Amino acid sequence: MKKLSVGIDVGGTFTKIGLVDAKGNVVHSLQIPTEPKKGPLNFVRRTVALLNGWSFGSVGLGLAGGVDARTGTLLFAPNLKGWTGFSFKKAFEKSLGVSVVVDNDANVAVWGGYAVALKKRPCTVVGVTLGTGIGGGLIIDGRLHRGATGSAGEIGHQVLELNGPRCHCGRRGCLEAYAGTYGIQRLARQFMRRPPSPLTPKAVADAARGGNRGARKVWDVVGARLGQGLANLILVLNPDAILLLGGVARAGSLVLDPVRRVFASQPFREPFKTVVLAAPSDRDWGVVGAALLSRERSSPVLGRLLVKC
C-alpha cells in the first residue's frame, strides 16, 4: 500500500487534516472551518477538493460524537447537528476510491497515542483525552474496544459524587465536571483571588508554577478527582498503562503528582504496582490516530502483524 495516509479530526468548529506516514509523523497539515450548518455532504465535498493532488492509500476520520464504526455513520453529535444518520465512510470512499475508516474522535486519538507513544507494547490500555470535555478509549488485547453499542470509553461521565457540580451532560458529579476545562475554570474562580484572563488551563498552570497557592489548590483537586476516576477504571480493567492526552495533560506534574498520590493510597495494591502512567508530548493525536487506524484497517495482514497480544 502507499506509505502515506490521511487523518481527519472533525470538531464542531474546526477540522484538522494531516498527511501521515507509517511512523505517525505528520508530513503536511491544514485546518479548515467545519461549518456544520452547511451539512455533511458539503463538508465531504470541500474536504475531497482539498485532498486533490495528495498521494495516499487510506483515509481515517475522527468525529466528535457517537459513531457506528462498521458503517461509518454518525449516530449522535451535540456540535454537529443535522449530520446524524450520514455515512461518511460511504461518501468519502465513493469520492476518493480508497479505504476509509470512521470512528469516535477520542477513540482515534487514543489509538494514535497507543501506536506512537506506547509503540503498541502494552496489551491493555485506558486512554483519556483531557480537554474541554473528557473522552476516552479502551485498548483491550491490542484492539480498540467499543462495547455492545459502540459507546464504551465514556470515561468523563462516570459519577464521582452524586450531588457534585452539574456536568454539561446534565448529570451531577461527573469526572468531566471536575477535570474538564469548564471544571477547571469553576475551581479557579473558587480558589483564586484573581483568576487569570483569559481563564484557560494553561493560564492556571502557569500561575501554579509561579507560586500561586489558589492555582496549586485547583490542580490538587483536579488531579485528585482524575486519580479517583482512573483508580475506578484500574480496579475494573487492570490495565498495563494509563494514557493521558490533550491540553489539560500539559499541566504535567501539577496534575500527575496528585493522581499518583491517589494510586499510592489504594488498599488493593496489586493492580496499581505495575500500571504505567503516560502523558506523552501533545500533538494532533486525532489526526495521527485516524490515519494510522485507516492504514491498519486497509491492510488486514499489517494489522495482524502489529498486534502482539
Superfamily of domain 119-278: ATPase, nucleotide binding domain (3.30.420.40)
Report helix, strand or coil for 78: coil
Cell 450548518, residue located? 37
Per residue, the 3-state secondary structure of 145-187, as one string, reads ECCCCCCCCCHHHCECCCCCCECCCCCECECHHHHCHHHHHHH
pLDDT of residue 305: 44
pLDDT of residue 106: 95
5-109+284-306, CATH topology level: Nucleotidyltransferase; domain 5 (3.30.420)
Can you say how many angstroms the Cα of residue 301 is from the centroid of all Cα atoms in its chain?
Answer: 27
Residues forming a β-bridge with 33: 14
What are 100-113's pLDDT values in tens digits?
999 999 999 999 99
What are 43-85's pLDDT values in tens digits?
999 999 999 999 999 999 999 888 999 999 999 887 898 999 9
Where along the chain do its domains lie?
5-109+284-306, 119-278
pLDDT of residue 149: 84
User: Along the chain (309 residues), what's the average pLDDT of each consecutive run of 10 residues?
Assistant: 88 94 95 96 97 95 92 89 95 96 96 96 96 94 90 93 93 96 97 96 98 98 98 97 95 97 97 96 93 87 53
- What does the alpha-carbon distance between residue 224 and residue 256 come to, in Å, rounded to a whole number? 9
Cell output for 152 = 464504551
Q: Do residues 139 and 124 make contact, with C-beta atoms less than 8 angstroms apart?
A: yes
- What does the alpha-carbon distance between residue 184 and residue 253 come to, in Å, rounded to a whole number? 16
Would you say the CATH fold of 119-278 matches that of 5-109+284-306?
A: yes
